[in-house]
Amino acid sequence: MKKPFDPNAPYQPESFSFRDREVLDDIFSRYPQGRERSAIMPLLDLVQRQTAEDGLKTRPPQGGWIPRAAMDEIARLVDQPPVKVYEVATFYSMYNLAPIGVHHVQCCTTTPCWLQGSEAIVKACEEELRLHMGETSADGKFTLSEVECLGACVNAPMVQINDDYYEDLTPETMKQVLKSLKKGQQPEIGPQSTRHASEPLPGPTTLQDRTQKAG
Ligand code: FES
């Protein structure tokens, strides 16, 4: 799904500055001198976390997103033309380039999730949130997006909400997760089935003698 990016939109702030200098220095310390542009991705992530923190205080609240001014500031810090930062930020779906809901519900609809029923999961989200793909709720709490494979195909169908994965979903468990978030509760993260992580559904099937010995 094409994500919105309008560098001249009225919601774009005039300027941006990083608040947590300690984290900023830590990010730069991970890369050798002369390779500062390698820090672009963690810096974009840091911006998104800072705006997410700030967004909880606005009315309606907002989730984390990356203003153009922040990308320009990153470009200045890594001594690159701004377009080098824009091209990274626009490529990855994990970077939000426009204001977004506090809970960003990203539904994976790539083949393994689709084969396991992602269409029904999308429908459950649309029904529970009364939103269509790409929309944000009027109270600022939810944005619904469609994304490509999130690397958890073994637990398909799944969605990512902010930093957390919810897997082995059914329409019922999907709605349950969203209902909990609406109430301000933290739903159980991970598989919404009875299995642990990505082990086979009937339980472990190999090396059982060794695991028993190891307790
Ligand atoms: S296809 Fe959905 S996580 Fe890979």
Distance 24 CA to ligand 1 centre (A): 32
Distance 114 CA to ligand 1 centre (A): 8
The pLDDT confidence band at residue 114, using thresholds 50, 70 and 90, is very high
- pLDDT on residue 4: 85
pLDDT (tens digit, 9 = 90+) per residue, 28-83? 999 999 999 999 999 999 999 999 999 999 999 999 999 999 999 999 999 999 99
Mutate which of 146, 149, 154, 198 for ligand 1? The one with the most ligand atoms within 8 Å of its CB, which is 149
Domain locations in the chain as residue ranges: 21-91, 103-190
Instruction: Give the mean pLDDT of the chain.
Output: 95
Could you give phi then psi for residue 17, rounded to 5 degrees? -140, 145
pLDDT (tens digit, 9 = 90+) per residue, 151-206? 999 999 999 999 999 999 999 999 999 999 999 999 999 999 998 899 888 877 88
**pTM for this model (two decimals):** 0.92
DSSP string, 138-203: TTSSEEEEEES--S-GGG-S-EEETTEEEES--HHHHHHHHHHHHTT--PPPEESSSS-TTS-TT-
- pLDDT on residue 140: 97
Closest CA relative to residue 69, chosen from 19, 13, 21: 13
Closest CA relative to residue 4, chosen from 56, 52, 68, 60: 68
Distance 97 CA to ligand 1 centre (A): 23
> Does the 21-91 domain belong in CATH 1.10.10.1590?
yes
Distance 68 CA to ligand 1 centre (A): 30
User: Between residues 213 and 130, which one has the greater pLDDT?
Assistant: 130
Same fold, 21-91 and 103-190: no
Quick one: 103-190 is in which CATH superfamily?
A: Glutaredoxin (3.40.30.10)
Q: Averaged over 73-100, what is the pLDDT?
A: 96
Distance, CA of 3 to CA of 133 (rounded, Å): 11
Q: Which two tokens stand for residue 42?
A: 């963690």
Return the biggest CA–CA distance within the chain: 64
Q: Does residue 23 surpass a pLDDT of 80?
A: yes
Distance, CA of 76 to CA of 189 (rounded, Å): 38
